A and B are shown apart, each in its own frame.
Chain A
Amino acid sequence: MEIFDMKVLRNVLVPVASVTGSTFLLYDSVFSSRTEGFTPFEMIMGIGLLFVFLSFTDFVKKHESVWAFCFTIVATSAVNFRVSYAFADLLIDNVLAKIGVIYVSCIMLLSIEEILVLAVIRLIWLKQNDKGFQKMHLRDVRRRERMLERLYEKIEYIDRKYDGYSYRVNHNRGPDVEELEKYFENWRNTKCS
């Protein structure tokens, strides 16, 4: 059967095993029940599993950064939550405030980890296919440009009709232009998003 093909198995087993292993190792390195204190060896192993995942999984090829981002979110979630909880528990009594602080400190820790991990990944895998974001973005930009051009034509038409030559030193936007700018902002927010 195709499902037992080695390639398929590898692409399922390696991600699952590396993510769960990394999550456990990273958590255990900081909050181990067996040893007291921080164990750097487990942390190195946990980070090493990320590279195992990126090297041995087929669908990750040329998209290492994005997958490393996803991997880091899952693998560090447990340890980030525990660290944030310990921090919030130490400082705050209110439950709602505690939830907020836990969430924000989780995000802070995650951002630091992501930046460190992604910088290393970019250094190792220099050539990556970044078109997943790029194509979407360019299409969106072109659409927005077309809309802007149409709007500028409209503004210029109104400008010519009513107050084409308004100019004041140190206050160079005439009142009707300001209104149009507001209109432009609303228009952009509603149509482009």
Chain B
Amino acid sequence: MAKVNVKGKYPCRANWVSVFKKGDKYIARDGVGDEEYEISANVARYLLSLDGNTHPLKVEGYEEEQCARMYNYLNRRELIRDSGSKIILGTSKIHTLFIPNKPFSKSSVFKILNAILMTSFLPVFILGLYRILCCKYSADFDLMLPGIVIGILLTMVPHELGHAIAALSYGAYVYEFGLLRMGLLPGAYVMIDEAKLKSKLYKAQINMAGIEVNVLLAGICMILISLGKDGNIWYKCSGFLFAVVFELLIGILTNIIFYKGLDGEHTLTNLLGVDCGDLESCVKANIDALFSPRRREKYFEKNGANGFAYMVVGVVWILNQTVIPIFFAAEAVEIFGGLVRWIWRFLT
């Protein structure tokens, strides 16, 4: 399939969309949304001709009205992306930094990197923790502020690279890599399509790889802090490293929660065996069965004692979805209140 020019003048076929023929039908597959649409041969040809350099209403072989109709149809299904590397996707503004020539790789480099990551992250972290708690070292806290700023980048970018390395090592597709902004919150993203993988462990590792990279980096930083002796470079950098470790740990702990959309939830979803990656609808369907006597009877008849286990998973998931936002909202109010109080005291 021809590569699209996302920085072109006109909107183009989204680079995470592939068009292929299945029997006598044409399918447009949205790799990121994990959805497939059956389209006519005409629409498929039109979609493929949107390469970023062609005006969407002036495609050869189609009238303008026909183009507009097809464009609206495809755009509504999010198969077309706007021109330029900065686009709005859902609620976030994304900035594409890198699009690989091929979305997959057969290189063994990624396999080796993934194997190193999987085997080393926990021992390195434990060693770092041991050294920082039990060894003697001296630290200087001068460079905390740059550490906080750079720590944000060090938390996000290697995290997404970890996902990409794991995905490429197992043969999943990686479409693009970039930075995003959700409201005021900065972030990074990597677009992965893991639908063709069958092993749930592979999928779990892809989702977990980001956190593993963060744990590995935190371990390495802690080892470097523990090397600090009066006057040497690790002593001078220890403030910076402490700030980075702090941010990495915050990132790890917030990302690992069993909460919708976070890596922890994706990983647990894979490990529990939900193949489509959408635990929410499964949980809702399971819990739904509780509220009608007929459905409840049928449900336990079908699932037996295992139905109880599915219910427990559902209840834990729902509890997490309700309590965690309240906690973080309360924390935000607390922080904001503290800030207002501090400003008030400063002014008066």
Residue ID in chain A nearest B303 by CB atoms: A132
- Per DSSP, are chain A's interface residues mostly helix, strand or loop, or mixed? helix
Interfacial residues of chain B within 270-292, with CB under 8 A of chain A in the complex: 271-276, 278-279, 281-282, 284-286
Q: How many residues of B contact A (CB 8 A)?
A: 58
Verify if A4 is at the interface (C-beta below 8 Å from B): no
- Residues from chain B with a CB closer than 8 A to the CB of A119 are 201, 204, 271
- Per DSSP, are chain B's interface residues mostly helix, strand or loop, or mixed? helix
A136 to B267, CA, bound (A): 20
Interfacial residues of chain A within 143-185, with CB under 8 A of chain B in the complex: 144, 152, 155-156, 159, 164-167, 169-170, 172-173, 177
- Residues from chain A with a CB closer than 8 A to the CB of B75 are 172-173
Other-chain residue from B82, B271, B326 in contact with A122 (beta carbon distance below 8 A) = B271
Asked if B69 contacts A165 (CB within 8 A), the reply is yes
Asked if A137 contacts B282 (CB within 8 A), the reply is yes
Q: How many residues of A contact B (CB 8 A)?
A: 51
- Residues from chain A with a CB closer than 8 A to the CB of B121 are none
Other-chain residue from A103, A118, A159, A193 in contact with B272 (beta carbon distance below 8 A) = A118
Verify if A69 is at the interface (C-beta below 8 Å from B): yes
- Residues from chain A with a CB closer than 8 A to the CB of B323 are 103-104
- Report the minimum CB–CB distance from A190 to chain B (whole Å): 14
Q: Interface 1/0s, chain A 108-147, versus B by CB < 8 A?
A: 1011101100110111000010101110111111001000
Asked if B258 contacts A137 (CB within 8 A), the reply is no
Verify if B210 is at the interface (C-beta below 8 Å from A): no
- Residues from chain A with a CB closer than 8 A to the CB of B346 are none
Other-chain residue from B83, B309, B320 in contact with A170 (beta carbon distance below 8 A) = B83
Stretch at the interface among A21-29, A33-41, A44-52, A60-68: A60-68
- Residues from chain B with a CB closer than 8 A to the CB of A169 are 10-11, 83
- Report the minimum CB–CB distance from A129 to chain B (whole Å): 8
Verify if B76 is at the interface (C-beta below 8 Å from A): yes
Verify if A107 is at the interface (C-beta below 8 Å from B): yes
Verify if A17 is at the interface (C-beta below 8 Å from B): no
Asked if A165 contacts B68 (CB within 8 A), the reply is yes
Stretch at the interface among B94-102, B158-166, B231-239, B310-318: B310-318
Asked if B71 contacts A133 (CB within 8 A), the reply is no
Asked if A70 contacts B275 (CB within 8 A), the reply is no
A169 to B257, CA, bound (A): 41
A115 to B306, CA, bound (A): 20
Asked if B68 contacts A167 (CB within 8 A), the reply is yes
Verify if B256 is at the interface (C-beta below 8 Å from A): yes
- Residues from chain B with a CB closer than 8 A to the CB of A118 are 268, 271-272
Asked if B257 contacts A111 (CB within 8 A), the reply is yes
Q: Interface 1/0s, chain B 322-337, versus A by CB < 8 A?
A: 0110110011001000
- Residues from chain A with a CB closer than 8 A to the CB of B201 are 119, 122-123
Q: Interface 1/0s, chain B 68-84, versus A by CB < 8 A?
A: 11011101100010110
Asked if B284 contacts A140 (CB within 8 A), the reply is yes
- Report the minimum CB–CB distance from A119 to chain B (whole Å): 6
- Residues from chain B with a CB closer than 8 A to the CB of A164 are 65, 68-69, 72
A103 to B320, CA, bound (A): 10
Verify if B253 is at the interface (C-beta below 8 Å from A): yes
Verify if B172 is at the interface (C-beta below 8 Å from A): no
- Report the minimum CB–CB distance from A39 to chain B (whole Å): 18
Q: List 7 A-B contacts (CB under 8 A).
A: A100-B330, A115-B208, A133-B282, A134-B282, A137-B275, A141-B281, A173-B75
Q: A residues near B, CB below 8 A?
A: 59, 63, 65-67, 69-70, 73, 96-97, 100, 103-104, 107-108, 110-112, 114-115, 118-119, 121-123, 128, 130, 132-134, 136-141, 144, 152, 155-156, 159, 164-167, 169-170, 172-173, 177, 193
Further 20 A-B residue pairs, CB within 8 A, beyond A130-B272, A164-B72, A169-B11: A59-B305, A65-B273, A69-B272, A69-B313, A73-B312, A97-B330, A110-B258, A114-B258, A114-B268, A115-B208, A119-B201, A128-B273, A130-B275, A133-B273, A136-B285, A144-B281, A165-B68, A165-B69, A172-B11, A172-B75
Q: B residues near A, CB below 8 A?
A: 10-11, 56-57, 64-65, 68-69, 71-73, 75-76, 80, 82-83, 200-201, 204, 208, 253, 256-258, 264, 267-268, 271-276, 278-279, 281-282, 284-286, 303-307, 309-310, 312-313, 316, 320, 323-324, 326-327, 330-331, 334
